[in-house]
A and B are shown apart, each in its own frame.
Chain A
């Protein structure tokens, strides 16, 4: 295989078309300053022009334009209609023929696979039992994560207490800006839940948020030292990620600034590569040893979580993880997001979280070990309704990351890997990251949790349930619509009308 050589010749038209209405434009230059992709330009004589091919449709210029002069649309499709060869497939081949490289992307799988959440409907009480009004009656969302044991006589294992069954999922400093972590960590603390450091260590500025942090230990071991493990609420061993099961991580050198390098304990401006497997875990018994090692290192005072991507044999894998001593199993579905992943992996590997979760919950119950570990569902949770459905399928709590980023301003352009995030989120560029004001970020993230909490309470009240404990695994509260018998069976639910 010869080394790829960039041909520098573009065969396709741009993906997006940026229009500036000259009647509205006041030539203030905001669009030029805001676009890190350098789409907008102005000559010395005031003439403005646009490079459509650089536009990623992040909407930053359109949103900030004071006169609403800018609109971004799909560039008109020129290809002859073909139901097999869509324009994206053709464009991707042009790009690869041009560069010889792996296609990179960001965020979660956007392909039109079935979203099972959208085929689940919730129950509500009518006549035979009363619905409960959360404005007048207590409605408990408090959730405990960890090994609950089966008997009151056993010694209690360490646990996490969540006031709302939603945690912020792993996003490392480096993949996201420090201001993102400042926003989410403080929001988690104020709302009585937890955030996750991701595999990037804990920045000194965030030390005080260690007590509400799940600190990750992943295959690169970046940022892991005794103080890091000690200053945490829980430790998470990251085996896999829903957006890229089976492969490691890659933080491009461009994002490894001085601060990132200190936090990760690696040289500045060098690529940070997390290997695909942990080099000390080649089977389940090795995982057992790492779990035990981390427990010993922290004096058995912290729950240890293991995060895996949802893949075909997830039931057996999760069972092994629980038997290896994990207190929490986090399962990341194929819609889970990433700061950078090969597009083919993101779009073609893994299975939906809904099915994986149902299978794991049932499997752990069949084996009588469901009490030994809590289940956290991740990967594509978009709303409080998804949270309720996940809990009814069997989750104890959920992780959200994309939703949290959207709350902070993400517009889902999927270009996180470039480091040019115009919303100041997936970047370590100081000029860009200061665009997220942490004070505002904290409030927005808190608002999201509060809003979802209220909505969860409303839905629970409608079902006649006043504690989230009674929703967990309560699959009778779910009915499937538009699902075939096998899918219903795998989800362990009945069809609508049944």
Chain B
């Protein structure tokens, strides 16, 4: 039997792009579609997707669960689970524009929901942890169901196809967001599974990623020690968990997080704090070629591997920050940026909404690895 993505590790090349309006002004999905469509050749029609932030202001407090089902039975089973655990404010199919280029789409529903107070009380955990565990449960235990996104006031729209066609399919021109990220994929075989497309998301995190991390197994085995279950066998999943652990659980600053995942060379480290970070978190160095855009509701961070083995370009115009695999993709939507540059290896490009200082607020209590 052919293994689907998530059961087998598939390396792939890609295009990535992201646009943030730092003043929080929203704009529709056509811009990011033009941007990623310009890099058509970097994808092969086997995966495309978008993350959009700020699209559900009327349900901003609710967790927007976008769920893919292989069949109706999976939907029934999942909804039974959701009804038991969440108060659902609104639910229904995600509006789609059927078209010839996109085939074999799963059943796609969304739910605006908050965990039931009683369930939180029983489990003795906070809301985020509850949603996190619910996502892990649905993905691993409900056959034929997959959570595409689970954040607040955001969603991921992804599937098998060229990204511009996926954008059409999901009617992204109907949505307005203050931040969009996009991904066009060139996997090295034919997964044909919508869940395998980018962005990869968890709560408010979304990651689009170009590259193959040679340190995958080292990173994964380290994260597993801290309770992360890497079920999808993708580099992107590992990156998301690494950032989540460092920033949310261990409360590292963005600079320190970068000093871990894209650590400077030993010979360039003079600061004792940097050296210490490398010693403690040496297993979270992401080694091998990558460029990624990590986003939360507060903004985005784009970064390369430390010797820049994948392309990454950034530009600014007024309140807007653009990041992309190629300069042409930025120029097609912003022909005359105020500034355009190519960040060096391990040199992050950070864009935050005005008034925000961090991508994410750390957890108040620090969770350690289980130990004696």
Contact = CB atoms under 8 A, between A and B. Distances in A.
Interface of A: 125, 128-130, 132, 137-138, 140, 142, 144, 148-153, 156, 159, 323, 365, 367-372, 463-467, 469-477
Is chain A's interface secondary structure helix, strand, loop, or mixed overall? loop
Contact of B288 (A129, A138, A472, A475): A129
Contacts of B273: 152
B106 interface: no
Contact of B221 (A129, A132, A365, A477): A365
Interface in B196-255: 211-212, 214-219, 221-222, 224-226, 250, 252
20 contacts: A128-B212, A148-B279, A150-B368, A151-B250, A151-B280, A151-B368, A152-B256, A365-B224, A367-B370, A368-B369, A465-B214, A469-B215, A469-B283, A471-B218, A472-B283, A473-B217, A473-B222, A476-B9, A476-B217, A477-B214
Contacts of B283: 469, 472-473
B7 to A, nearest CB: 12
A148 B283 CA distance: 11
B214 A470 contact: yes
A153 B266 contact: no
A138 B266 CA distance: 10
B267 A369 contact: no
Contacts of A153: 366
B73 interface: no
B144 interface: no
Interface of B: 9, 11-13, 188, 211-212, 214-219, 221-222, 224-226, 250, 252, 256, 263, 265-267, 273, 276-283, 285, 287-289, 306-307, 309, 366, 368-372
A371 B279 CA distance: 10
A474 B13 contact: no
B217 A128 contact: no
A475 B265 CA distance: 24
A370 B277 CA distance: 17
A129 B214 contact: yes
Given A138-B307, A151-B368, A467-B263, 8 more contacts: A128-B212, A129-B211, A129-B289, A130-B289, A140-B265, A152-B281, A156-B276, A476-B217
Contacts of B372: 323, 369
A130 B214 CA distance: 10
A469 B285 contact: yes
B289 A372 contact: no
B325 to A, nearest CB: 16
B218 A138 contact: no
Given A140-B265, A474-B217, A464 B366 contact: no
A475 B218 CA distance: 8
User: For chain B, what secondary structure do more than half of its interface residues adopt (helix, strand, loop), or is it mixed?
Assistant: loop
B188 A128 contact: yes
Contacts of A465: 214-215, 287-288
Contacts of B215: 465, 469-470, 474
Given A142-B266, A469-B282, A476-B217, A152 B252 contact: yes
B152 to A, nearest CB: 28
7 cross-chain pairs, A with B, having the tightest CB-CB distances, nearest first: A470-B215, A470-B287, A476-B217, A469-B282, A368-B370, A464-B214, A128-B11
A475 B9 CA distance: 14
A140 B366 contact: no
Given A128-B188, A129-B211, A473-B283, A138 B221 contact: no
Given A130-B289, A152-B280, A465-B214, A138 B267 contact: yes
Nearest to B256: A152
A162 to B, nearest CB: 12
Contact of A475 (B188, B217, B285): B217
A152 B281 CA distance: 9
A144 B366 CA distance: 25
A472 B221 CA distance: 10
A341 B289 CA distance: 50
A129 to B, nearest CB: 4
A463 B214 contact: yes
Contacts of B282: 144, 148, 467, 469, 472
Contacts of B250: 151-152
A473 B218 contact: yes
B198 to A, nearest CB: 16
Given A148-B279, A367-B370, A464 B289 contact: yes
A128 B13 contact: yes
Contacts of A470: 214-215, 218-219, 285, 287-288
Contacts of A475: 217, 221
Contacts of A367: 370-371
A387 B366 CA distance: 36
Centre residue among B211, B222, B276, B279 by max chain A CB count within 10 A = B279
A467 B268 CA distance: 14
Nearest to B186: A128
Residue among B218, B281, B307, B366 having the largest count of chain A Cβ atoms under 10 Å: B218
A130 B211 CA distance: 10
Nearest to A369: B371
Contacts of B226: 368
Given A128-B12, A128-B188, A159-B279, A137 B218 contact: no
A471 B217 CA distance: 9
Nearest to A476: B217
A137 B307 contact: yes
A472 B218 contact: yes
A75 B12 CA distance: 60
Contacts of B368: 150-151
Contacts of A140: 265-266
B170 to A, nearest CB: 28
Interface centre among A129, A142, A149, A370 (most CB of B within 10 A): A129
A466 to B, nearest CB: 6
Given A368-B225, A469-B218, A129 B11 contact: yes
Most buried by A among B219, B226, B278, B288: B288
Contacts of B218: 469-474
Nearest to B251: A153
Contacts of A128: 11-13, 188, 212
A367 B212 CA distance: 29
Contacts of A365: 221, 224-225
A91 to B, nearest CB: 48
Nearest to B13: A128
Nearest to A361: B221
Contacts of A474: 214-218
Nearest to B267: A138
Contacts of A476: 9, 216-217
B279 A464 contact: no
A476 B235 CA distance: 13
A144 B307 contact: no
Contacts of A151: 250, 280, 366, 368
B279 A477 contact: no
